[in-house]
Amino acid sequence: MSRMDEPQDKFHFVTIIFLILGLGTLLPWNFFITAIPYFHYQLSGNNATLPNNGTTPQRDEFNFNNWMTLLAQLPLLLCTLLNSFIYQWIPERVRIAGSMTAILSLFIFTAVLVKVNMSPQRFFDLTMATIWFINAFCAILQGSLFGLLTLFPQRYSSMFLSGQGMAGTFAALAMLLSMSSGADHGTTALGYFITPCVGTFISIVCYFLLYRVDFAKHYLSKSTANSAKTYELETKTELLHQGEENGDAAGQKKAVLLLKEAEAGGVGEEKQTVSVCTVLRKIWVMALTIVITFGVTLSVFPAITAGVATSVDSEGWRDFFTPVCCFLIFNIMDWIGRSITTKILWPGPDCKYLPLLAASRFIFIPLFMFCNIPDHVYLHTFFYNDAWFIIFMILFSVSNGYFVSLPMCLAPKKVLPHESETTGALMTFFLALGLSVGAGLSFGFKALL
């Protein structure tokens, strides 16, 4: 089928579907971390008002922030590995639809817990178990969707990542609206946790609609052996065309070589074997960059940043300080950072110093640790004013979004088309590894406070 005869993405319907699917993959994590004041209230034995009785943030006696981060990222790492094996035996639709259904069920369970009276210890245990399982299914869902995205043009991957960036903003706004309603904490929390239930249900509907759209069916059919060669020729022609438009010499050179290879019959005749080691040698710079980026981010967010208190003597502002300055600002600026890569991909795919640029973000760790944290034991507060924390958070979150999205966009440019699926699986694994490393480091940095 020629490019002129291809179905068109009418009304950007498929684009919107991938945006919603990206939003759905990170809704669970973002709704849990944004609800930290609610969890602290429940773990305090309901002896305080939500979120902090207008004084200072409650002491994290259960070390909830750290355990939540760790038990969210470990299953992400383990199940990302598991997904690289089970995808051969379990159909894609079962993995994706099954994972979303399980996530929906667990969110309903979390909403029900709001109205159930129990001891803080039992609530902690049930919540940690829920976080573990919900993130395990999220890992399978995310890995499967990244594999699905390799069949579509790159702009759909960018839209999916943009949707993931929106998830945090969506969760933070939902929390602010719940807090502003004036209802009691139980009603507020119930309404808050029902929201992701609705969002997840919409994601399930959108996923099934994807297989009924002609444009999507055209690209999904590219996975069959009969159309593999045609697809690669079309993809490489598009790469060449884009390289000419952007003046990307490296991209033009790669596309020309791939076109010659395809025309000679060297590509697409049969399924080519892919060496993980070979792919890893090509993308190790991108993989290391994403490990460092998430390692830095999760080591302080939210375990340390959620503990920063406002210096303003206003009860209303104290209630909204953490939801606004920690979570809302982070997620909006992270989204902006991810969106920058749709226009700028600097430095390019051949840069060897990208991990060093990502490592420069280590400066944010001591900066946040010296902010106004009431739980300080070994350290002192140097940055007392709220403005310092807000400035640090803006720079921290923009750089996180950029250095997360950049390697995910550059990695596919370093490999051949038949290596794309393996590349996606490897980058998802290293993404999960970075999250787990950061979650582990958060315990050490929290102890240094």
Written as tens digits, the pLDDT of the chain (449 aa) is 445 566 788 888 999 999 999 998 888 888 888 887 788 888 886 544 444 433 344 556 778 888 888 888 888 888 877 776 666 688 888 889 999 999 999 999 999 998 888 899 999 999 999 999 998 898 888 878 887 887 888 788 778 878 887 888 888 888 888 888 777 777 788 888 898 899 999 999 999 999 998 888 888 876 544 344 444 444 444 444 444 444 455 555 554 555 445 444 444 445 567 788 898 999 999 999 999 999 999 999 988 999 999 999 888 898 889 989 999 999 899 989 988 887 888 888 888 999 999 999 999 999 999 999 997 888 999 999 999 999 999 999 999 999 998 998 888 888 887 787 678 778 878 988 998 899 899 999 999 98
Comparing CA positions, the residue from 77, 138, 132 lying closest to residue 103 is 138
- Fill in the amino acid letter for 423: T
- Fill in the amino acid letter for 93: R
Query: Do residues 322 and 36 make contact, with C-beta atoms less than 8 angstroms apart?
Result: yes
Please work out, in degrees rounded to the nearest 5, the angle formed at the alpha carbon of residue 61 by the alpha carbons of 56 and 431: 95
Give the pair of three-digit tokens for residue 127. Answer: 């919540």
The CATH fold assigned to 7-223+273-448 is Growth Hormone; Chain: A; (1.20.1250)
Buried b (16+ CB within 10 A) or exposed e, 211-246: eebebbebbbebeeeeebeebbbbbbeebbeebeee
Give the pair of three-digit tokens for residue 417. Answer: 């088309």
Comparing CA positions, the residue from 399, 374, 439 lying closest to residue 59 is 374
Q: How far apart are CA 24 and CA 107, in angstroms?
A: 12
Buried b (16+ CB within 10 A) or exposed e, 307-337: bbbbbeeeeeebbbbbbbbbbbbbbbbbbeb
Q: What are phi and psi of 341, to 5 degrees?
A: -70, -10
Backbone Cα Rg of the chain: 23
Give the pair of three-digit tokens for residue 282. Answer: 């090509």
Q: What are phi and psi of 195, to 5 degrees?
A: -55, -50
pTM for this one? 0.76
Q: How far apart are CA 59 and CA 191, in angstroms?
A: 26
